[in-house]
Amino acid sequence: MRKFIFIWFLGSVLLVGIISALGALWTGRTIRLAAWSFYESDFVHYIAQTAVRALDEGGVPALEAAEKHIDPDEKMRFLVFDTGMNEISGGPAPGAIRALAGRLRPQDKAQFQMYGTGLVAGSIVTAHDGREFRVIVWFPARRVGYVPINAWGWAGRIAAIVATAGLLCSWLAWCLSTPLMRLRLVARQFASGDLKARADASSFPSSLPEYRELARDFDEMAGRIETLVDSQRQLLRDVSHELRTPLTRLNLAVNNARHAPASAVEGSLDRIDQESERLNTLIDRILRLSRFDAFAAPPHREIIELADFMETIVSDADFEATARKRRVSLVRAGTCRLAGDRELLREAIENIVRNAIRYTPEGTTVTVDAWRENPSEYRIVVRDCGPGVPAENIGAIFEPFYRAPQRADPESPGFGIGLAIAKRAIGLHHGTITACNLDGGGFEIAIRLPVPAAAV
């Protein structure tokens, strides 16, 4: 990965360099012309003055001698025009060069123009007697290459730029790849089965906040997966344990029915029917619990008038409790409209109330209090008169298949799933559920449901 990032960065630098070089080649004529204009303006003007001085002193022969003195290798051509654009020396002049000579102005500095692969430059010089001459210097292609640029100096600069870019790319590649490699190793460790492997976001450099966020997200994901896998494993163990007892009873009842006399078979069949019903109930509750785990929000939403909703639930629960010599009373039912899944909320609250009925003593009353505690929250509190739950076990009563030891009811044993279902259902509505022992005896479960600001 580090090599890839390094190559990517270096490739980007080289690509920029290549594009710059191509641009330089594309505009090379302009660059060379600008270079000559900057560096050689005085040189051209000196040549023009020397040529005119020789012409003024000795005529054309003196001008030709001056030209040879200035450029013994004859790598340049000199063309001189008088005010009437007549060629005095160096002709015949091509049309483009004659046109440049015609454009020269006395007040201008030396003018340059690309011509073919070479360069021409011109300047107007006034002789001693007042005559003006237009002097054109024609530099062939081999001479243009001698623009005063230090090739070795530029090569050294380019090499220094490439070396610096390589070092910078190496440093950037190391900075960017090291955290990713760490995260990759942790991900592989997690994928190999170590569900406690974490990236530890605090150990990532603060100069790379995006990597810290990525590590934090990874740790959060890993924690959720670990919790989910652990809960699934615990659920499998609990289901296996819960199924073992009714299946054992079924086997015993079947065995008794096979060997018992005909008059005693009916009792064994009743036991089989009872255990079968218990298995059906257990499997139905397990399926409900698993479906709740798959939801991220209530599958169905409708507007619920909570006052009428609570009155109906309490009325039905009181009817069931009367048969067990207990009562359920509604202290109050505050008015509030809430968008949610009616059946999920009903099942959650009924499970809590039924759980309270199961553990409150005979002749006592389970109270239900529901009101809008503040504009953004609706609260439901269920209290019983039972023995309560040991303080160290309160946090576990909402886990599947957990049954508090002090609240065992031999007459109607539960599966320990009702409160777990209630917690899942309330959580799907973004609410919370808590439990506590009451000071004067009894047990309380409180539900808090968020209410939108528009709710009435």
Residues labelled catalytic? 241
Beta bridge partners of 120: 113, 138
Rounded Cα gap, residues 377 and 392, in angstroms: 28
Listed residue (274, 221, 268, 223) closest to 246, CA to CA: 274
Amino acid identity of residue 95, one-letter, is G
Beta bridge partners of 445: 382, 435
* Cβ atoms of residues 96 and 136 within 8 Å: no
CB atoms within 10 A of CB 26: 10
User: Which CA distances in Å does 399 have to 238, 353, 404, 419?
Assistant: 11, 17, 11, 8
User: Which CA distances in Å does 175 have to 1, 181, 214?
Assistant: 12, 11, 15
Q: Strand, helix or coil at 260?
A: coil
* Cβ atoms of residues 387 and 406 within 8 Å: yes
How remote is the C-alpha of 319 from its chain's centroid?
55
Listed residue (339, 331, 329) closest to 306, CA to CA: 339
Amino acid identity of residue 176, one-letter, is L
- Return the structure tokens found at 154: 């530029």
* Cβ atoms of residues 400 and 235 within 8 Å: yes
Measured in degrees and rounded to the nearest 5, phi and psi for residue 78 equal -115, 130
